Amino acid sequence: MKLNDMQRALLAERLADAMMKDIDVETLERLVYDMYLDEYILMDDGDLLMEAEMFQVEVPSELVE
């Protein structure tokens, strides 16, 4: 079945509503954390450094073991 744009948007909304109905706070926090982590990992260096400056996060000087 091929979905049109409206069907796709409505189905995505229904799935999100169904997922959120029974989700606990800890799981939700983890999902949001993972989403941001993925976003930051995929950013190029310039964008990542801009985000660090905006949030006043120090750039690590070396690897942490």
DSSP state string for 3-54: --HHHHHHHHHHHHHHHHHT--HHHHHHHHHHHHHHHHHHS-HHHHHHHHHH
Confidence of residue 62 (pLDDT cuts 50, 70, 90): confident
Q: Taking the model in full, what pTM does it have?
A: 0.64
For residue 64, is pLDDT > 90?
no
* pLDDT tens, position by position, 2-61: 999 999 999 999 999 998 898 999 999 999 999 999 999 999 999 999 999 999 999 998
Domain ranges (residues) in the chain: 24-57
Q: What is the pLDDT of residue 65?
A: 63
